[in-house]
Amino acid sequence: MKREDWLIFGFPAGVFALIEFLMMKTGRGKISFRWLLRRAVRKTDSGLYPETCHNANRLQCLAGRKAPHDASTGAGTGHALRRGAEHRGEFRQSRCRPASSFFRSAAQMLKDLPVRRCPGSSVPALMMKIGIFTIIELLIVIAVVAILAAMLLPALGKAREAAYTIKCTGNQKQLLNMQMLYADSYRDWGIGNCYPYYESKSSGKRVEYMRYFRTDDPDFATGIGLPAKSLAKFLECSSADRWIKSSGYTPASFEHYTVNSCTSSTQTGRNSYAWASVEEGYFKPSTVKLPGRMGWVTDGRDYQDDTWRFWHNGNCVIGFVDLSVRSLRKSDIPYHPTSGYTRIWNRYPASASPLPVGYP
């Protein structure tokens, strides 16, 4: 270890406290503290700083050779330091001990500060220098903050989307419960369209499915669901809302959860996997042979959206007829060459087929 990395044992603790205060107030960004200390030790060894030591023995101790001895007068800096060390019972005659990194930094700072002598005392007084916060330091701080922000923002975005996914999953679960309560109340016929007919199809009389779940609707209230304002807030998806605001799309309504219209499809190609359904937009969930293979509700741009949306960290959250809610990746849903991810009656998860595409 080099000599400048050692300090004389027994240096007064009060001086180090003062140095710590001055280090916080003094800016020294352009000069290395280690270089300052080495320069100070060299000058001290050569006698350029005689006022910092009381005699030759003091110089040798500062260089790490031996402890200070009594001066002829018994006064001065060396005597004051020795007296403080003897008071603490830590004075040693033969060797010095290594200082901590803080003390080495403090000594470096002490060497760089201006020194003057107080009247009537041989102990130098430290004059505090006012540090200047330069533009270079400001730019460095800004750059560090920018780097940290660039590292943290993606993680925060993923965490936010994960929270949105949990909320959307819970909302779809509650919506599935409302759907099943409606089916139990109407002889097992559940709502299989976002805009079903409330009379025969030939009459052309249709209604939004949400009105069946508004407890304060004067014409279509079923006693299932929530008041209109609470239901509208409940049927909002945060991920869908962010997409709508960023894309500039004008939705047909503020309700984002929609019903898979393929559940009420009357296609004959379903073969032995066909279930009870009518073209007015209703079906019987209990007749679906593979309820875990057919989606019932999901989120979209509005309640009429008929496309699978992958807004939740690249996943699509879907509520199935078996009352489970799962997140599907794009690779889980067959892609149609012309229709893309539009819901198609013979493609999973719009179908209840054991095959990704078609029925056996």
CA atoms within 13 A on the CB side of 45: 13
Residue 19 CA to residue 105 CA, distance in Å, equals 9
Q: What pLDDT score was predicted for residue 171?
A: 94
Residue-wise burial string across 318-341, b where 16 or more C-beta atoms lie within 10 A, e elsewhere: bbbbebebbbbeeeebbeeeeeeb
Q: What pLDDT score was predicted for residue 229?
A: 92
Q: What pLDDT score was predicted for residue 48?
A: 46
pLDDT tens per residue across span 213-248: 999 999 999 999 999 999 999 999 888 888 888 888
For residue 47, how many other CB atoms are within 10 A of its CB?
10
Phi-psi region of 72 (alpha: psi -120 to 50; beta: other; left: phi over 0): alpha
For residue 74, how many other CB atoms are within 10 A of its CB?
11
Q: Name which of 303, 320, 297, 173 is nearest 236 in CA terms.
A: 303
Residue 287 CA to residue 319 CA, distance in Å, equals 17
pLDDT tens per residue across span 158-168: 888 888 899 99
Give the Cα-Cα-Cα angle 141, 144, 148 (nearest 5 degrees): 140
For the chain, residues with pLDDT lower than 70 are 1-133
Q: What pLDDT score was predicted for residue 347?
A: 94
pLDDT tens per residue across span 276-312: 999 999 999 999 999 999 999 999 999 999 999 998 9
Going 263 to 267 to 273 to 277, the CA torsion angle's sign is: positive
For residue 254, how many other CB atoms are within 10 A of its CB?
14
Cβ atoms of residues 215 and 225 within 8 Å: yes
For residue 104, how many other CB atoms are within 10 A of its CB?
18
